[in-house]
Amino acid sequence: MNDRIDVTARYRALDAAHHMHPFSDMAELNRIGSRVIVRAQGVYLWDSQGERIIDGMAGLWCVNVGYGRRELADAAFAQMQTLPYYNTFFKTTHPRVIELSAMLATLTPEPFKRFMYCNSGSEANDTALRAVHRFWQAQGQPQKRYVIARRNAYHGSTLAGATLGGMNDMHEQMPSMLEHVAHIDQPYWFGESHGEDVETFGLARARQLEAKIIELGAENVAAFIGEPFQGAGGVIFPPSSYWPEIQRICRKHNVLLIADEVIGGFGRTGEWFAHRHFGFEPDVITMAKGLTSGYMPMGAVALSDRVADAIVEGGEFNHGFTYSGHPVAAAVALANLKLLSEEGIVARVKEDTGPYFQARLREALGAHRIVGEITGAGLVAGIQLAEDSTKRKRFANGDDIGTLCRDLCFKGNLVMRASGDRMLLSPPLVVTHAEIDEIVAKAKAAIDETARALELA
């Protein structure tokens, strides 16, 4: 035990001295000390003190096949020995990127047959932007360059990703943002409606897109980008009226529709892609995370035939990365996609574990004193904390209460993320019924304790 404390203390000291964490208040974190995660298996993590933690977030929404799958490690090992790296810039290719592309063509809807690769979700969105601009140039309409996105969206942390995203606390730290990006409001009924019913609200939020297109001039608008459901923004599931109306407006005004499937892709909602859950048809799909289950960094952009044909016919497209289609990442992605499909993991989310998870959460927390709504499908959920669940009244200091609840979860050895006053769950897709029971019980215990701390229990 003392050895473990020594090891932890040593790691914490070195971490504080040398490692800057993403999206973290480093002064505060260095005072408290990070939890050192040393290994993982299935849906569980272990820290350097020997504590076992159940991962209700699949890492950062990415470890879809769960931790410790030998098949992915073997695929990486074999590929590193055969061909650890080669590029695809100058008239060369390699087997794994070919096989991965052919496999993705079978998993994506019909009009998607061609794929571009990168290293992350942010780069996928940057690439999508470059591709839609290139598409409109090739169509002889280079002035179509505006991209419309939503407030409280998350599209990554590069200059383009962060500009497209609608996170105020990111924008405030960006004195210079990408040009030709505009934002409309999000379809967040619980938080932003004023007495309208859900579907009327969904239509009104979608119609902001049409108003923005008209304001900018349809001849100047290249694309609309949206997460099918907002992930980091709070697992905000739009009303069912929303996406069909967005699609109608995009088609009417000849604006491309980009689905950011970085979180929604590869089974999260029980469909291979979340846009299928909401029933719309994008022109471009961006993906990352579940593509490799996070075992290797990789992102991809799927281009529909309309977009891909125009880019192919248009001559050289001057875009790409040293690691586009990296052989080891491609080998791991292939092994991962094989597991997801051959073991029926995605199908099980739709038919079994997804409905079980959603039902258990609602049973345990649907009528809780400080829960306003529960959203989600498959293995993703958002739990809205509220001061008065019956009146849709939010806490004045909701961010602090979300953080308190998250910290209580972590203390109880459950990873549950907070986004403002919403608690988020997105476990590995291999989670069992018993593990779902454990996640729900621990989430409920933390929410009960939060209510007690607020003297609302």
Residues forming contacts to ligand PXG in the complex (CB under 6 A) are 60, 120-122, 125, 154-156, 161, 227, 231-232, 260, 262-263, 288, 417
Measured from the CB atom, the residue of 256 and 451 that comes closer to ligand PXG is 256
Measured from the CB atom, the residue of 152 and 358 that comes closer to ligand PXG is 152
CA distances 202 to 175, 235, 395, 437, Å, are 32, 16, 24, 33
Measured from the CB atom, the residue of 58 and 451 that comes closer to ligand PXG is 58
User: Rounded to the nearest 5 degrees, what angle is found at the Cα of 142, between the Cα atoms of 139 and 143?
Assistant: 130
Q: Which two tokens stand for residue 426?
A: 């997105």
Q: Please report how close the Cβ of residue 5 comes to ligand PXG at its closest, in angstroms.
A: 29
Of 326, 327, 379, which is closest to residue 350 (Cα–Cα)? 379
Measured from the CB atom, the residue of 288 and 340 that comes closer to ligand PXG is 288
CA R_g for the chain: 22
Q: Please report how close the Cβ of residue 260 comes to ligand PXG at its closest, in angstroms.
A: 5
Q: Please report how close the Cβ of residue 157 comes to ligand PXG at its closest, in angstroms.
A: 6
Measured from the CB atom, the residue of 242 and 356 that comes closer to ligand PXG is 242
Q: Quote the longest CA-to-CA distance of the chain.
A: 69
Measured from the CB atom, the residue of 288 and 302 that comes closer to ligand PXG is 288
Q: Please report how close the Cβ of residue 58 comes to ligand PXG at its closest, in angstroms.
A: 11
CA distances 58 to 31, 67, 302, 342, Å, are 27, 9, 24, 20
Q: Please report how close the Cβ of residue 329 comes to ligand PXG at its closest, in angstroms.
A: 12
Measured from the CB atom, the residue of 116 and 138 that comes closer to ligand PXG is 116
Q: Please report how close the Cβ of residue 288 comes to ligand PXG at its closest, in angstroms.
A: 5
Q: Please report how close the Cβ of residue 228 comes to ligand PXG at its closest, in angstroms.
A: 9
* Strands laid side by side in the 256-260 sheet: 112-118, 299-304, 284-287, 256-260, 221-226, 146-150, 181-184
Measured from the CB atom, the residue of 121 and 348 that comes closer to ligand PXG is 121
Measured from the CB atom, the residue of 164 and 430 that comes closer to ligand PXG is 164
Measured from the CB atom, the residue of 188 and 356 that comes closer to ligand PXG is 188
Q: Please report how close the Cβ of residue 34 comes to ligand PXG at its closest, in angstroms.
A: 16
Q: Please report how close the Cβ of residue 391 comes to ligand PXG at its closest, in angstroms.
A: 28
Taken in order 83, 298, 99, 64, the sign of the CA dihedral is positive
Residue nearest to ligand PXG (CB): 121
Q: Please report how close the Cβ of residue 340 comes to ligand PXG at its closest, in angstroms.
A: 19
Q: Please report how close the Cβ of residue 224 comes to ligand PXG at its closest, in angstroms.
A: 15
Measured from the CB atom, the residue of 286 and 353 that comes closer to ligand PXG is 286
Of 217, 115, 119, 208, which is closest to residue 166 (Cα–Cα)? 208
- Rounded Cα distance, 175 and 161, in Å: 15
